[in-house]
């Protein structure tokens, strides 16, 4: 029987992860199955345990369970500890990792070939916390965290030296190399109160959401900024999880190209 993996979350129905991991497995000659597990909101730990005792080797974790997964682990990587969230579980050992941050950074550096120093990070929830450490490690010299609830951004900034916090009304007018939308506003197709003047021609506006043009990306485009959705981040974080589980690093470019239909 091939080794079993899955994405656990709620909801998970429309995830591209099974297809992505099937492509990785085929390309690297690894024997594995990757499925979807929807856990009830109050039944994450029990669902993980059932998957494990049924022979499951590993899980990717998505909304809304990444923080709960972190608390469930017996050992976590440094990047998961920084993010206080886990998106990759190794079930035999109880080890937890977080590949979201490196996924974003690899998409920026390898797929988009986009060097950056100054970053404006929109949002201070789980998605934002998952990438701050990796952005700093990748060489960001300035990371400003803007959030609707400023106190939340201040709390995150306190945990990461080299970052600062503000509200949307007090955004500086300087040009940032990179503006990352890590809020959940895109999921609801809500616009963010970011002034058009925040987007400069030399800015890359990156939305972690994918699959459509969000109000954030539309606003950036209108201002003449370069834009990217988060599809590359999805593929890169998946590749890093695959590496954590299998010790083999799959090529991501062909998979991303297929997903984009090119
Ligand atoms: P996630 O794990 O996806 O980050 P979360 O922890 O609920 O989810 O965080 C959601 C983030 O999106 C927060 O930064 C939230 O701002 P608040 O902390 O002020 O709630 C942000 N967000 C969601 N909808 C928003 C909107 N319409 N405008 C601005 N920010 C929004």
Q: How far is the CA of 125 from the centre of ligand 1 (A)?
A: 6
- What are the pLDDT digits (tens) for 187-245? 888 899 998 888 998 999 999 999 889 999 999 999 999 999 999 999 999 999 999 99
pLDDT score for 174? 85
Q: How far is the CA of 162 from the centre of ligand 1 (A)?
A: 22
Instruction: List residues with catalytic annotation.
Output: 66
pLDDT score for 186? 84
Note whether 180 and 119 are within 8 A (CB): yes
Dihedral pair phi/psi, residue 108, rounded to 5°: -65, -45
Note whether 59 and 5 are within 8 A (CB): yes
Pocket test of ligand 1: the residue of 10, 98, 183 to mutate, having most ligand atoms within 8 Å of its CB, is 183
Q: Considering only CA atoms, which residue is closest to atom 11 of ligand 1?
A: 183
Other CB atoms within a 10 A radius of the CB of residue 147 amount to 24
* pTM for the whole structure: 0.96
Note whether 155 and 123 are within 8 A (CB): no
pLDDT score for 262? 67
Pocket test of ligand 1: the residue of 65, 122, 123, 219 to mutate, having most ligand atoms within 8 Å of its CB, is 123
For strands 163-166 and 178-181, give the pairing: unpaired
Q: How far is the CA of 61 from the centre of ligand 1 (A)?
A: 19
Q: How far is the CA of 29 from the centre of ligand 1 (A)?
A: 40
Please identify, by atom number, the ligand 1 atom nearest to the C-alpha of residue 122: 14
Instruction: List all residues whose CB is within 6 A of at least one atom of ligand 1.
Output: 123-128, 147-149, 152, 183-185, 190, 192
Residues in the chain with pLDDT < 70? 262
Dihedral pair phi/psi, residue 142, rounded to 5°: -145, 125
Measure the N-to-C terminal CA separation of the chain; round to a whole number of Å.
Answer: 34
């Amino acid at each position: 029987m091939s080794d079993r993996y899955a994405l656990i979350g709620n909801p998970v129905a429309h995830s591209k992860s099974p297809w992505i991991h099937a492509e990785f497995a085929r390309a690297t000659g690894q024997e594995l199955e990757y499925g979807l597990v929807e856990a009830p909101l109050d039944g994450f730990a029990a669902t993980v345990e059932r998957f494990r005792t049924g022979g499951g080797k590993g899980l990717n974790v998505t909304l809304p369970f990444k923080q709960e997964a972190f608390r469930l682990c017996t050992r976590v990587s440094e990047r998961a500890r920084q993010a206080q969230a886990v998106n990759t579980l190794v079930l035999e050992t109880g080890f937890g990792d977080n590949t979201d941050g490196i996924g974003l950074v690899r998409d920026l550096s390898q797929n988009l070939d986009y060097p950056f120093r100054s970053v404006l990070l929109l949002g201070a929830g789980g998605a934002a916390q998952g990438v701050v450490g990796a952005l700093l490690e990748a060489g960001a010299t300035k990371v400003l965290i803007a959030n609707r609830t400023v106190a939340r951004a201040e709390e995150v900034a306190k945990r990461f030296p080299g970052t600062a916090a503000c509200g949307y009304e007090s955004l500086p007018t300087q040009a940032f190399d990179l503006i990352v939308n890590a809020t959940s506003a895109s999921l609801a197709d809500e616009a963010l109160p970011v002034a058009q003047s925040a987007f400069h021609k030399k800015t890359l506006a990156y939305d972690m959401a994918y699959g459509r043009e969000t109000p954030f990306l539309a606003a950036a485009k209108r201002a003449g900024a370069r834009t990217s959705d988060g599809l590359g981040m999805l593929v890169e974080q998946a590749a890093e999880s695959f590496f954590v589980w299998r010790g083999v690093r799959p090529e991501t470019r062909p998979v991303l190209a297929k997903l984009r239909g090119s």
